[in-house]
Amino acid sequence: MKYSVRFVFGLIVVALLLGCAISPNDLTSTNSAPASNSGGVQSAPRVPTIVAPTAPPAAISAPPQVALRAPESSRDSADLDRQAARVARALPHPTERATLAPPRITERATVAPDAAARVGKPGQPLEGAELYVHLPPQAKMQQPLRVFLALHGMGNRGDAFAHNLIKIAEQNNWVLIAPTFHYRDYLDPKQLMDDDIQLSKRILDTLDVLPQRLNLKLYRQVLIFGYSRGAQLAHRFAYFYPDRVKSVAALSAGAYTLPTEKVSSAKGTQVVPFPYGVGDLQECVGAPINWSAPKKISFWVGVGERDNQPLDVARAFDQYGGRTRVERAQSFKQALQNIGIDVYLAIFPNVSHDTVPEMRVGALQFLRAEELADPLDD
């Protein structure tokens, strides 16, 4: 009995020691291992589930989201497009629309080579999209009517240039005509000369057929309003065909043909050739020029005080009238006065190369006053 008790106690001690040697993890793994199935194939041990951390490490964290915006240049371009669209919607539209001319060119651009063919040939009147015409109200009841010729500058169109002239034309019962011309390089004196000779002939031919086209009685002499490149054409047309012109308003011309045939210098007397002067004008035009006729024409010359950038005008004219539009306008006025032509010069303060309302009003008031001064002198 004594030995039996000791044996049992020994077994208990051994069991306790063995229990301490087995870890809790070993017990968990043993209890969770699946038993073999009836087919004898053991299933793969379970892969531990990996739990992602609640937040990624700072080194790879995504940047905070921000509102994307276009680059400044893109946003500026979009703003300009929207502004241009608003301006286009606000522009007045003529009541009689002509077909749009080909794409515009910049004031200082050299015109494409094919422009020479589009200038037209002498003896070819303007027609269709080349000529915008606006009649005053009740034109049939006001005959005869005065023709008001509006000549645009580089890159413009006749119908667009006529926008701001329609109201005054209606008030004065003028037949407003505004041709569209494809001027060539105005910095090249040769192209300038050739263009103005041909374009002037086309204007003359158009005036000749206009009464028949409109079925209206028209005065023979016209009033001319020209801006920039159109101002150059305006005063040269008056030189070529003075019997068809009553008065001329020339605004901001880049160059003028002085009514001077010869000049004296240390080298003796020299002829001033066209387009700088009129020394060889008859040869260029191909017809005699009666210089007593232009003396009956009155001129109004307007220019902005700040329209004085030398790079904007042809350098070939510097020795004949100055380096800027302002200097050349002053020289033109003096040259006209020297041969007894009535001329008025208006220089507008703080105005650059533009037709501001004050300039336009001054020119139109002059043309109307000259018409009323001699209403029947046609």
- DSSP label at residue 40: S
Beta bridge partners of 146: 174
Give SS3 for 227. Answer: strand
pLDDT in tens, 211-261: 999 999 999 999 999 999 999 999 999 999 999 999 999 999 999 999 999
**Degrees to nearest 5, angle at CA 21 with 18 and 27:** 100
Q: Which of 209, 177, 197 is nearest to 122 (CA)?
A: 197
pLDDT in tens, 69-128: 333 333 343 443 444 333 333 333 333 322 222 322 223 333 333 333 334 444 578 876
Neighbours of 341 (CB within 10 A): 17
- CA distance linking residue 304 with residue 349, whole number of Å: 6
Q: Which of 147, 142, 146, 148 is nearest to 161 (CA)?
A: 148
Residues 316 and 275 sit within 8 Å (Cβ to Cβ): no
Structure tokens at 309: 């950038």
- CA distance linking residue 82 with residue 320, whole number of Å: 46
- DSSP label at residue 145: B
Beta bridge partners of 303: 347
Sequence-distant (6+) residues with CB within 8 A of 344 are: 298, 299, 300, 301, 366
Q: Which of 293, 285, 282 is nearest to 242 (CA)?
A: 293
pLDDT in tens, 260-287: 999 888 888 999 999 999 999 888 888 7
Alpha-carbon distance values, 100 to 161, 175, 179, 303 (Å): 12, 21, 12, 29
Structure tokens at 293: 């006729």
- DSSP label at residue 218: B
What is the three-state SS of 234-295?
A: HHHHHHHCHHHEEEEEEECCCCCCCCCCEEEECCEEEECCCCCCCCCHHHHHCCCCCCCCHH
pTM over 0.85: no
Q: Provide mean pLDDT across the span 366-376.
A: 89
User: Which residue segments constitute the domains of the chain, with CATH numbers given?
Assistant: 95-373 (3.40.50.1820)
- CA distance linking residue 225 with residue 147, whole number of Å: 11
- CA distance linking residue 298 with residue 370, whole number of Å: 8
pLDDT in tens, 306-356: 999 888 899 999 999 999 999 999 999 999 999 999 999 999 999 999 989
Residue count of the chain: 378
